[in-house]
Amino acid sequence: MKLTIRQVFFIVLVLGLFMMTLRPIADPDFWWHLRTGQFIIQTHTIPHTDPFSYTMVGKPWITHEWLSEILIYALFQLGSYGLPIFTFSIFITVAFLLAYLRSPAETRPYVAGFVLLLGSVATAPTWGVRPQMVSLLLASLFLFLLDGYRRNENLYFLVPLPLIMLVWVNLHAGYFLGLVLICIFIAGGLTDLLLSGFLKREQVLHVPNLKPILTLCITLGVCVLATLVNPNGVLIIIYPFQTLTSSSMQQFIQEWFSPDFHQLMWQPLAWLILALIGIGMLNKKYISTTNILLTIGFGYAALISMRNIPFFALAAIPVLAEQIGSLINIHSTVYAPGRLFRLFVPILLVGILLITCLRFIQVVQEQPRTEAENFPKTAVDWLQNNAPAGNLFNSYNWGGYLIWRLFPQYRVYIDGRADVYGDAFIVDYLSIYNAEPGWEDKLNTQDIQTVLVESDAPLAIALRQSPAWHVSFSDKQSTIFIK
């Protein structure tokens, strides 16, 4: 098969993007997702109350990611850590390729490819084997279909949306984003309709009509009904608002913080934002109202919280590609490849494919080291072998790992399911962890006999000075105290 330069560029782009997404699992929540998937498969029940902690045992738990957790555990059973890493890298790659395909055809592959890489690098710190990546993929698919409908007004693009929503609502609470996207497209259409009434016909690039807006409203209603098909019923509608209004999540959980542009990893996001502003100032090309609403809305959300940055990139990539493409005219004629090119291409593609495979193997081989560096693997081995009695107090970031390694032998004090524990409990946990006045009384009240925290944690320093506690295990990373 003869490949053109454009086709070779696209193949290299896809493989390069996929290779970028490959990384060992370091997300602290991965472990309790893994255990939950195992729990559901083994018990054939979806938990509606907390089974993993002794502090919140029996408290209602909206298991909104249950289907993702089954997927993660099934992948783990079939292919250890390698298959989940591979699968979620595919999810991320496809999500960004859909954004690339939403870029104007005349900007592909070169301009759109460059913008795609910039948008991808800007979101790279948020990637991982986590249910949020499923929402990233489905949000990108929603945008692709809604954008197709906006351009063509063909119902073919809208028919899949309720079916996708039916699955999405059982995969992750990010399903709510799908409803928001439909609302934005409705708002964009209504805005264009209102503007067309004030402007002269020749000033309006696309004269809208009410029919597609009403069709989107009907689609929105059907998608809302689809969200009710889940094990949690109407509670799933309330859950996103509870998460967004949780003060403890906003104050204490890092991925809810605004991006810190002093950190190198967030510099590409700054470049993406500045490119949108700079190119927009140089350009007089019309941008659709819907794209303006998407870019501004998700841009604001990205500046408020790091976890929203990937969705901003999905909105921004086609806009920036279109704006750059109108300023830079890269000749798109497909030339017949020369003989030297035909000889070189197979070597290039095989080489890149080989590098991608080697990178995947390297990432899988790095997984044990990543686990040991980020989680108290050796300390947990000690707990399994020595099994000290009594309740265990643990660090927040390690709770999920302890659930995977120690449940049901031990139940945790706290883990990454902040919605289960609530704001007041998390504040109380932090008062103990930071060894604030009264921390000893709180440990005594809850009959805590074992403490596992970072070796340099404020609580660890205080426990070393207390005659009531002694060190049973310690390394540079973690320390176990026994009362």
Q: What is the pLDDT of residues 258-312, one digit of tens each?
A: 999 999 999 999 999 999 999 988 887 788 899 999 999 999 999 999 999 999 9
Structural tokens at position 282: 């140089």
**pLDDT in the model for residue 70:** 98
d(CA 91, CA 318): 19
Judge whether 161 lies within some domain. Answer: yes
Write down which residue in 288, 311, 327 finishes a domain: 327
Burial label, 454 (beta-carbon count in 10 A; 0-12, 13-18, 19+): middle
Residues 323 and 381 in one domain: no
Q: Give the chain's length.
A: 483
Judge whether 35 lies within some domain. Answer: no
Radius of gyration (C-alpha) of the chain in whole angstroms: 25
Residues 257 and 170 in one domain: yes
Residues 255 and 385 in one domain: no
Counting the structural domains of the chain, the total is 2
Judge whether 353 lies within some domain. Answer: no
Judge whether 234 lies within some domain. Answer: yes
- The parent domain of residue 205 ranges over 5-25+81-327
Residues 10 and 152 in one domain: yes
Judge whether 18 lies within some domain. Answer: yes
Judge whether 351 lies within some domain. Answer: no
Judge whether 346 lies within some domain. Answer: no
In this structure, the strands spanning 391-394 and 448-454 are parallel
Residues 280 and 387 in one domain: no
Residue labelled with tokens 């139940």: 411
Judge whether 116 lies within some domain. Answer: yes
50 DSSP 8-state letter: -
Residues 314 and 390 in one domain: no
Other CB atoms closer than 10 Å to residue 462's CB: what's the count? 17
d(CA 290, CA 184): 7
Residues 19 and 136 in one domain: yes
Residues 306 and 394 in one domain: no
- pTM here is 0.93
- Helix (H) / strand (E) element for 481: namely strand 478-482
**pLDDT in the model for residue 228:** 95
pLDDT beneath 50, residues of the chain: 201-204
Residues 271 and 405 in one domain: no
Structural tokens at position 26: 């370091």
Structural tokens at position 93: 């790659």
- Helix (H) / strand (E) element for 14: namely helix 5-21
Write down which residue in 264, 298, 327 finishes a domain: 327
Residues 413 and 302 in one domain: no
**pLDDT in the model for residue 202:** 46
Residues 307 and 394 in one domain: no
**pLDDT in the model for residue 201:** 47
Residues 122 and 268 in one domain: yes
